[in-house]
Amino acid sequence: MALKLLSTSGAEPVTLSQAKLACRVDADITADDTLLQLYISAAREQAEQEMGRALVTSQYERLYDAFPAGAIELAWPTVSAINSVQYVDPAGVLQTVDSLLYTLDSREDRGWCIPAYGTDWPATLNTASAVRVTFTSGWSEGAAVPAGVQNWILLRVATLYKFRELVAAGVSVAELPREHGAGLLDKWRTYL
């Protein structure tokens, strides 16, 4: 079971103007705009990793060696669509499952791809990554991300901005101060 990020296309959960406000940078000063945009993306990626969920609209591929007995766990909550279900058949040919033969259950904390009523998953070749499920996860717009998560991202951006010399000197992002606002993500964490 592997999970692979294919692409990210959604708007960031916080805007540049919000980040400038959090960093106490005058809105008219644009010298650090590119840097702040990088920090916004880095903080969002870290929040996603810590919570186990996508925040912005992203495409993922979930790989299995064979179809499970029942539903396919997609992981990363806030699944909005299953884009395709593909498998390598016993003859070694890549096939695509008709979208009428499965459904998305996104009511649970994680998304699930469930075979349609009265159907079973097809047989696969006995090989690694024989089943590939591509799906979309994340909130449809950055403003829909919960306020606590947005606040955590802003705190992280401000920390990165304040300690950017340490980052340049070789201190990893993981070593920067973290205790301030640490609980803001707790409500939205998933545990795989």
- Could you report the per-residue pLDDT of 6-25, keeping only the tens digit for each? 998 878 999 999 999 999 99
Nearest 5 degrees, angle CA 109-CA 110-CA 115? 125
Same domain, yes or no: 41 and 63: no
pLDDT at 192: 54
Same domain, yes or no: 71 and 121: yes
Same domain, yes or no: 164 and 131: no
Residue 170 lies in a domain: yes
Which of 95, 115, 137 is the last residue before a domain boundary?
137
pLDDT at 10: 79
Same domain, yes or no: 29 and 17: yes
Same domain, yes or no: 118 and 147: no
- H or E segment to which residue 75 belongs: strand 72-75
End-to-end CA distance of the chain: 12
pLDDT at 178: 56
Same domain, yes or no: 103 and 155: no
Residue 4 lies in a domain: no
Neighbours of 147 (CB within 10 A): 10
Same domain, yes or no: 62 and 107: yes
pLDDT at 172: 58
If you ran DSSP here, which 8-state letter would residue 11 be given?
P
* Residue 142 pLDDT class (50, 70, 90 cuts): confident
Same domain, yes or no: 94 and 149: no
The answer to whether residue 106 scores a pLDDT higher than 90 is no
Same domain, yes or no: 112 and 63: yes
If you ran DSSP here, which 8-state letter would residue 24 be given?
T
Question: Pick from 75, 91, 77: which is nearest to 130 by CA?
Answer: 91
pLDDT at 166: 60
- Could you report the per-residue pLDDT of 52-102, keeping only the tens digit for each? 888 999 999 999 999 999 999 987 778 999 999 999 999 999 999 999 999
Domain range for 167: 10-55+142-188
Question: Pick from 147, 134, 131, 129: which is nearest to 104 by CA?
Answer: 134
Tally of structural domains, the chain:
2
